[in-house]
Structure 1
Amino acid sequence: MTLIDERAGGADSAGAAPKGPKPVFEGTKKPGEQTMLYTFVIVPFLAFLAAIPVAWGWGLGWTDVVLFLSFYIVSGLGITVGYHRLFTHSSFKANRPLRIALAIAGSMAIEGPVIRWVADHRRHHAFSDKEGDPHSPWRFGDTKRGLAKGFWFAHIGWLFDLEHTNREKYTPDLLRDKDIRVVDKLFPVWVLVSVFGPATIGGLVSMSWAGALSAFFWASLVRIFVLHHVTWSINSVCHMIGQRPFSARDKSANFWPLAIVSFGESWHNMHHADPTAARHGVLKGQLDSSARMIWLFEKFGWATDVRWPKPERLEKLRVG
């Protein structure tokens, strides 16, 4: 499967990407970008491998647990509520402070600058599981070998592609937003805050270098690893395994084991059936903490024009 320069104009119902002659790609990644990418994929992975022996011999303190959960929740919801449901799909409108806060929180997940992330995701919806999708697990066919290769590619391999998705084509709205452009440009700053913030807090709480190092290990490296692989599993697992109660034009599926740790993102079939909906877990028992957070923002008056899924539309989308 080869990526094409032009097939569809953008993400239709998924985002604000316009149709036009602009190419899908706008250039290639710089060597420094590739180096940082390898660093933030490999180093947290090594930390995760060391997590069990470290916990056994060194221990895991309550400060580490609190910092892990705090930074995981803030950066995770920054991705799901901010990067995904707000900036990519316009599932709701947010006032200026909330927009900026969500963009910063999402940046702290270290999954890329906000505009770059949104451009990739809108392109994913424009070509979902078809030629041109940046991370479809069906890229190499439906044989066992092809799916094994496709799973790896969708989960992590696609990150190392050299081409950059064209931001002018897929994110013209964000490029016009001065606040978001500033947050995007300051991405290295948010990376430093995310990586060294836990260590700073852990060191101050314990008043020791050991406390700082322990917090850095658990609440920075291990937390980044877990959040990255949960997010990447939405690209890989949730396009291969699970239930498909709603009609979608791709192979997206609901995978319940990831619902809590992904903040409701693993109700992926519903999301692809109705991309702009603010709630993905719409059936009984489907927990969706991202939707609950948007609901709270709405109650406080910080979020407006929330696109809550309507029962009549859900009924039309149901399979069978």
Structure 2
Amino acid sequence: MPTTSDVIDKAPGAAASVSATLGGEKKGSVEQGALLAFIVVPFLALAAAVPLAWGWGVSWLDLGLMAFMYFLGLHGVTIGFHRYFTHGSFKAKRPLRIALAIMGSMAVEGPVVRWVADHRKHHRFSDAEGDPHSPWKYGESVPALMKGLWWAHIAWMFDEEQTSQEKYAPDLVKDPAIRVISRQFLGWTIFSLALPAVIGGLATWSWQGAVTAFFWASLVRVALLHHVTWSINSICHAVGKRPFKSRDRSGNVWWLAILSGGESWHNLHHSDPTSARHGVLRGQLDSSARIIRVFEKLGWAYDVRWPSQERVEARRKEPAAETA
């Protein structure tokens, strides 16, 4: 599996017709409208969740389904889209490769090829001109940072310009199975949203069970996962401790660690992007790294890029240089 810099420096090798199946380099009005719906509808459900839970309660079945679907999609993104497809932190047997692409697609964060292309571009220009979602885009004053945080969290996704998938993800464009999964993103989205409703309806043998499961394990789950993921782009590039050397402003935000699967140990990640573990210091929980370890022991993953103690120490700043 090539590293980020290995991949993006290669000349584009895929045909234009292949690119068209994955979405071009400009968003159309229909696509922007669909994106708005995917953001607004789950967010409204998230906003309604607290009063609904207070007034009518929530069943253990709904909570269980929500937790299962949340962490399934979360680790599809953190292990699959991010550490594997984007950065090549490990190699995977073909069935695991396909499973990770599907799991990540079920997080409803966009097609795998587009997600990877955007993230590789982010690393190439992190917090500098060309970064798709830096919170420092408009400057360092408080008003500029507030505007930048909104940009990094949500607004950048509505930018008409798209990252070139042939330039930043040619390896995935050339993979027939990954191309198919990427093209079928809408289908995986429908499956991801419908599955909890089907399970809830069958488990309770009622329409009410299907509706409440859809509300909690589909809409609320997607909204929560979206905002946790987007917080890595916004919050983790604006605040947090920075014990490791990096050329950007990536920081560690401890209170996002569990919900983000270890992604919020963001400073080490930007210091050593291909590392399979982001939480390398004592007490830094990183569920994604633990699952990768399980995959390795099962023989599904191999050539895992675990950080050695020497590698970690070489990236440390002097204590006085750390910022909060």
Q: TM-score, normalised by structure 1?
A: 0.94
Distance 1:197 1:242, change over 3 A: same
- Kept in 2: contact 1:14–1:88 (CA 8 A): no
Counterpart residue number, 1:285: 283
Q: Does 1:115 align with 2:80?
A: no
Spell out the pairing of 1:104-253 with structure 2 (5 A cutoff): 104-253=102-251
Which residue of 33, 36, 39 corresponds with 1:35? 33
Which residue number in structure 1 is paired with residue 265 of structure 2?
267
Residues 133-179 of structure 1, C-alpha deviations (whole Å, 9 max, x = no match): 00000000000010000001001110111111100100011111111
- Which residue pairs with 2:18 in the alignment? none
2:164 partner amino acid = N
Give the equivalent residue in structure 2 for 1:17: 8
User: Does structure 1 residue 301 correspond to structure 2 residue 292?
Assistant: no
Q: Is the 8 A contact 2:135 2:152 kept in 1?
A: yes
Assess if the C-alpha contact under 8 Å between 2:153 and 2:230 holds in 1: yes
Query: Residues 68-95 of structure 1: CA distance to partner in whole angstroms, max 9, x if unpaired?
Result: 0110010000000000000000000011
CA separation of 1:21 and 1:142: change in aligned 2, threshold 3 A: farther
Tell me if structure 2 keeps the 8 A contact 1:80–1:263. yes
Query: Match of 1:6?
Result: none
| Native 8 Å contact 1:108 1:191 kept in 2 | yes
SS at structure 1 position matched to 2:162: strand
- Per the alignment, do residues 64 and 21 of structure 1 end up closer, same or farther by CA in structure 2, a change over 3 Å counting? closer
Hey, what does 1:4 align to over in structure 2? Answer: none
Q: Which has the higher mean CA deviation after the structures are superposed, 45-54 or 261-270?
A: 45-54
Task: Give the fraction of aligned pairs with identical amino acids, expressed as a percent.
Answer: 60
Contiguous gaps of at least 5 residues in structure 1:
1-10
In 1, are the aligned partners of 2:3 and 2:274 still within 8 Å (CA)? no
Alpha carbon RMSD of aligned pairs, Å? 1.6
User: Which amino acid is the alignment partner of residue 263 of structure 1?
Assistant: G
Please state whether the residue corresponding to 2:140 is helix, strand or coil: coil
Which runs of structure 1 show a deviation greater than 3 angstroms over 4 or more consecutive aligned residues? 11-15, 19-22
Q: Is the 8 A contact 1:12 1:126 kept in 2?
A: no
- Contact kept in structure 1, 2:91 and 2:301, CA below 8 Å: yes
1:263-301, CA deviations, whole angstroms, 9 ceiling, x for partnerless residues? 000000000000000000000000000000000000000
**Match 1:254 to one of 252, 255, 270:** 252
Give the secondary-structure state (helix, strand or coil) at the position aligned to 1:293.
helix
Q: Tell me, yes or no, if the aligned pair for 2:3 and 2:87 is still in contact at 8 Å.
A: no
> Does the Cα contact within 8 Å between 2:194 and 2:218 map onto a contact in 1?
yes
Shift of 1:36: 1.2
Q: CA deviation at 1:56?
A: 1.9
